Structure 1
Amino acid sequence: MIPELGIIEGFYGKPWTWKEREETAAFLAPHGYRFYHYAPKADLFLRRRWQEPHPAEEARGLAGLSRTCRSLGVRFGVGLSPYEIYLDFNDDVRDALTRKLAFLDEIGIDDLAILFDDMRGDVATLAERQAEIAHWMRERSAATRILVCPSYYTDDPILDRIFGRRPDNYLEDLGSLLDPSIQILWTGEEVCSREFTPGHLARVASQLGRKPFLWDNYPVNDGPRMSQFLHLRAFTGRPAGIAPHIAAHGVNPASQPVLSRVPALTLVEAYAKGDAYQYGGALSAAAELVLGPDLARSIVNDLLVLNDSGLDRLTPSASAKLRARYAAFDHPAAREIVDWLDGGYRITQEIIDTQ
């Protein structure tokens, strides 16, 4: 059993171009990826400046991406982060939200993801307020599927340290208050979970009153530490046995759009082959399909350096050799590696604080 698979473009830092988004959706659709959710942290008009209209050029790009996805039979969605509106859901906020939802309807969305992550959550009535807002937005959106990302979307205690202690019974209360048709996003036992197990997912489903909709933070590499690495390895820790326990499986990709397609393909194979899945062979096959045999062979040979060592551990001479090697390839993935070596994808704390 292969669950509904899709891309959730939800990372910090250098955003993909509209062409890269459309090409990624087109490449992955024949392999079973059936939704594409646009929610980059760099789009401030969905986040800190959500009350402002999108500039005309950005609006055209969104509408074009929607048309492309729908032509491919891929559901198109947008993630909206109305920053801390649950603290004061007043008439001005409602008017701004009505305008934003009308804009999203105009460009054409199938899925609306209401994202309450990256916000203070130590509010006693948090679940009640968020459920009220989600229902209010659902009534004013033409989207046929509504998703909610809770403020506490993982068991990971790091969220409590950053955003305040989660209210008691928050997940249970949110799950009981939200209409059963509304999906709830979940990243697992950690923000970037190394593994998902049927036991964990069954427990979360019991708390939420529905199967969780996975927001899988692999191969994303958007933190100050993670941006030093290219997450190229095949998916592991996602056994086929979790399929009956989830509503869908969304992949948050890496900052490098073409390279992200390599691990994305291996997830399909992990579900399709079950106990027969071999992550090493899956990586080699996916890399060759995405990159061609020569570039794939080079990347697999350099995997320990690209995926595991990190930029800061590369000596200048080693970096120069890698750069020369990949500059010799006329392929967009090779150019992504060169850009990464040149520091083009580095994420700073300032980027996270301002996006």
Structure 2
Amino acid sequence: MPVPTRFLAAVVVAGATAASLAIGASPAAATTAIAVPPIAPTPQSVTRASADVRVPGSAVLVTDSATDPAAKDLLTTLLQQHGARSVTTVAPGQPTGHGRLVVRLGGADRPDIVTALGSLTVPDQAEGYALRSPKPAELAVGGRDAAGQYYGVQTLRQLFVRSGGGWAVSGAAVRDWPNMALRGSIEGFYGPPWTTEDRLRQIGFLSEVKANSYVYSAKDDAYLRSRWRDPYPADQLATLGQLVHAAEAQHVDFTYALSPGVSICFSSPSDYAALTAKLQSVYDLGVRSFSMPFDDISYTRWNCDADQTAYGAPGQAAAGKAQVTLLNTVTSQFIKTHDGARPLQTVPTEYSDLADSPYKTELREHLDPSVVVQWTGTAVVPSSITVAQAQQVSTLYGRKVFLWDNYPVNDYEESAGRLLLAPYGHREAGLSQYLNGIVSNPMNQEAASEIAEFGATDFAWNDAAYSPERSWPLALSRMAGGDPRASAAMEVFADLEHLAPSSDPTPWQPQAPALAAKTASFWQRWDAGDHDGAARELRPYAQRIKDAAPVIRDGRVIAAFVDEAKPWLDATVLWGGAMTDQLDALVASAHGDPATAQRLTASADSLTTQAKAVKTGNTNPWGVRQALVGDGVLDAFTAKARTATVG
């Protein structure tokens, strides 16, 4: 998949920590601590090891038969888009010519890569990689496996920096690997589904952030759930194949999640035959990763009388026994007999608690140890996830668990009218000891989901080093194509869509924390009599709110995000106008200008009425609602300022 030019340049954020200088840097480089551009996900180790490597008009790739084709294609595209008009390929040991950039790409044990990397060894962990510049016009990327090579090139993508009128590659040395084996998203929300275009975009995004799992659990696909026995029509099967092939080409596992629990007769040979026939049909498309979820079903009744004979009266233990029998049979007779098939995944019926039960006992004691068990935390939408909780649930299920994280999904009533754009957070470093992965359940709005998903994949890759304060600005800047002005507007807008509801009465992320802090400071100064100082401090930020939507819409931000966020952007313009007018009215009143205060208050009132009338589209299960923007903060400030103005 070609890499859009908008994402090629490294994003440099204010406050990025300068990388340490390494031995072997040129004298010029050694005298100045030049920061390595920020890399996401956060690498295990990154230092500045050399001067930047200029990209000339010609480059040569040194590859062999073990070089990953996707990594090679991506590298070729990157070099061409950064000034190397000619990119040729030679085998190791062949001449590379003069005046050309040489890039060595391949496996960890290839002799020329080992030599080029020097003391920077490729990690032993799966998907690990190392990269560095051993000479002024040479780069080397070595991967432990094919995915490692690809991820090394994805890191290289973020190291291009402007150099004069052209481009260079930052002289970084990176040694990196993921802490969790499974990282990505699960399309598991209810309501209007993603389009094929949305799904293809999501797969491309996952590839970009080194995520390897896309779980296809689309609630709109009746052939996954209510019609699980029926074969796909040819056109739908072809569309699935398109997604599978796109994922495979970008090192993303397309996980097919078949949910037979709503109607299966566990003891029926014909139902088992129908189930394996469905799995075979998508295996033939190229699917190699499978899930069999049993979430959101009842275990207080059977779907057939034969199951009562086979497993006893319905209940926790009987349901556990029936599910374990099916999962173990599929594992032994399908997964282990099909080349390349990954370990089977499942979502247990008890997926959101820490209480032991006869059901969990059955899974703990009898489920094949290769089966991957998912868990959502201590609630369907938990306010936090701790290491202690993960340790406890891994004990309950007798294995590391796979976190199905219900953020930023917005298909439930508490999220009605909202985009959930707060950073991924409240997940404790160290979870990788007890989790083998994290998949984020996104919103009905695909592009908007990428902001929180960016953080989730960053955390899953390197939970020990994860920082929401570092990751969130990078996610927003990525959405803005690296443009500083658009990135700043995205930060203002995302702050207004910061509230994150949970299964608890209190949201786990507050609404508009940046604006709330500024308005609190304003009232403190205003009430102390420093009216002009208070206004000077707040007025520019109020203007930024008013201006955010036009900046976001001017072509730099991903178009799909702009389309999805339209109602909220429309409301932001109106709320920003109401805030600036009411603030100016308050100042006018304090300066003894009641006519101006009255005129501006009337304008603010009109804008507030218009803002409250902006509705979402029918894009979520909760239907058409008011598009909420900074609610409880922005509207509260405007109302308080109005009262202070007119009495």
TM range (shorter): 0.7 to 0.9
In the alignment, structure 1 residue 201 sits paired with structure 2 residue 390: yes
In the alignment, structure 1 residue 19 sits paired with structure 2 residue 19: no
Contact 1:33 / 1:74 at 8 angstroms: preserved in 2?
yes
Aligned to 1:163: none
Aligned equivalents of 1:169, 1:58: Cα separation in 2: 40
Contact 1:78 / 1:109 at 8 angstroms: preserved in 2?
yes
Q: 1:134 aligns with which of 307, 319, 327?
A: 327
Query: Following TM superposition, by how much is the alpha carbon of 1:295 offset from its aligned partner in structure 2, in angstroms?
Result: 4.2
Question: Cα distance 1:78–1:263, how it changes in 2: closer, same or farther (>3 A)?
Answer: same
Aligned equivalents of 2:547, 2:326: Cα separation in 1: 50
Aligned to 1:161: none
Query: Following TM superposition, by how much is the alpha carbon of 1:192 offset from its aligned partner in structure 2, in angstroms?
Result: 1.2
Query: Following TM superposition, by how much is the alpha carbon of 1:177 offset from its aligned partner in structure 2, in angstroms?
Result: 1.2
Aligned to 2:585: none
Q: Which moved more, 1:284-293 or 1:32-41?
A: 284-293
Aligned to 1:255: 444
Question: Cα distance 1:199–1:68, how it changes in 2: closer, same or farther (>3 A)?
Answer: same
Question: Cα distance 1:343–1:244, how it changes in 2: closer, same or farther (>3 A)?
Answer: same
- How many aligned residue pairs are there? 331
Query: Following TM superposition, by how much is the alpha carbon of 1:191 offset from its aligned partner in structure 2, in angstroms?
Result: 0.7
Query: Following TM superposition, by how much is the alpha carbon of 1:76 offset from its aligned partner in structure 2, in angstroms?
Result: 1.6
Question: Cα distance 1:279–1:329, how it changes in 2: closer, same or farther (>3 A)?
Answer: same
Letter in 1 for 2:490: I
Aligned to 1:70: 248
CA radius of gyration, larger in: 2
Aligned to 2:217: 39
Question: Cα distance 1:301–1:93, how it changes in 2: closer, same or farther (>3 A)?
Answer: same
Cα deviation digits, residues 138-164 of structure 1 (max 9, x gap): 32343322011101111189xxxxxxx
Aligned to 2:480: 291
| Greater relative contact order structure (CA < 8 Å, 6+ sep) | 1
In the alignment, structure 1 residue 155 sits paired with structure 2 residue 353: yes
Question: Cα distance 1:156–1:291, how it changes in 2: closer, same or farther (>3 A)?
Answer: farther
Letter in 2 for 1:176: E
Aligned equivalents of 2:223, 2:406: Cα separation in 1: 23
Aligned equivalents of 1:272, 1:181: Cα separation in 2: 22
What's the TM-score once normalised by structure 1's chain length?
A: 0.84
Letter in 1 for 2:618: G
Q: Which 5+ residue runs of structure 1 have no aligned equivalent?
A: 158-166, 311-320, 350-355
Aligned to 2:285: 107
Query: Following TM superposition, by how much is the alpha carbon of 1:27 offset from its aligned partner in structure 2, in angstroms?
Result: 2.2
Question: Cα distance 1:273–1:19, how it changes in 2: closer, same or farther (>3 A)?
Answer: same
Cα deviation digits, residues 199-223 of structure 1 (max 9, x gap): 1111111111101111111111112
Question: Cα distance 1:225–1:67, how it changes in 2: closer, same or farther (>3 A)?
Answer: same
Cα deviation digits, residues 17-68 of structure 1 (max 9, x gap): 2222122222221322011111111111101111222222221111111111
Matches within 5 A, 1:256-271: 256-270=445-459
In the alignment, structure 1 residue 177 sits paired with structure 2 residue 405: no
Aligned equivalents of 1:48, 1:86: Cα separation in 2: 10
More helix by share: 1
In the alignment, structure 1 residue 210 sits paired with structure 2 residue 388: no
Q: Give identity over the alignment, percent.
A: 27
Aligned equivalents of 2:461, 2:226: Cα separation in 1: 40
Aligned to 1:334: 562
Cα deviation digits, residues 258-291 of structure 1 (max 9, x gap): 1111112223444567566442342122111123
What's the TM-score once normalised by structure 2's chain length?
A: 0.48
Question: Cα distance 1:71–1:95, how it changes in 2: closer, same or farther (>3 A)?
Answer: same
